[in-house]
Amino acid sequence: MIQRKEFDQNLEDLRQLLRKMGEHVEHALSEAISALKALDTDLSKKIVERDVILNEMEEQVMDLGSRLIVTQQPVAKDLRRIIVAFKISSDLERMGDLAIDIAKVTIRLEGQTLIKPLVDIPKMAELVIAMVRESLQSYLDENTDLAYKMAKDDDEVDHLYSQIIRDLYSHMTEHPDTLQQAMLLTLVGRYIERIADHATNIGESTVYLVTGHRPDLNQ
């Protein structure tokens, strides 16, 4: 069996992989929204192409964590650290997929003009990017107070999402010719809302890591 010092270094390697995954997700979501606002299909295609990077990092987390479980047979909090790393990497990978889904919407809108200026969608995305950052920070710092903050932030995201839905449905009613684009923008709102749910999941994982209890912050 490897020495404790090396084991701790491997756990730190897991943490740093997750930190890098989080940074990648933040960047991908920020770029996806910028591309949508500008209807920049070239940037959107680059975002889609970079999906492999996040997938590879998730595989690294799974490989390293699995090797540590097999070789070290960790118990108690050490085992929780690895289980949490698996869960968080899965949430981050799904966030990345959702950012790509937003980029794909922009690609589908190629050649069109936005039916209305985007206000609430970028505002919602800005809040969710902060949630991604803070959820990862709660994990890295083992800060349960910051983790529980995700529930409050998620409520605000849900409120913005409801506002977006109402506005777009109203626009579709008044301008039936905009139906297709309005529905696609509704999907974008849904994708951002789901990213927030995954950030909240990371908050739950942080609480589980620290306390051994997993709360439901998505209520």
pLDDT, tens digit, 9 for 90 and up, residues 24-68? 999 999 999 999 999 999 999 999 999 999 999 999 999 999 999
Question: Residue 219: which pLDDT band, with cuts at 50, 70 and 90?
Answer: low
Q: Provide the CATH number for the domain formed by 4-211 in this structure.
A: 1.20.58.220
Rounded CA gap, 208 and 149, in Å? 15
The pTM assigned to this predicted structure is 0.94
For tokens 């070239």, the residue is 42
* 11, 68, 86, 87, 203 from 75: Cα distances, Å: 14, 11, 16, 17, 22
Three-state DSSP at 216 gives coil
Give dist(CA 139, CA 8) in Å, integer: 16
- The reported pLDDT for the residue numbered 2 is 55
Q: Which two tokens stand for residue 40?
A: 């920049």
Do residues 129 and 196 make contact, with C-beta atoms less than 8 angstroms apart? no
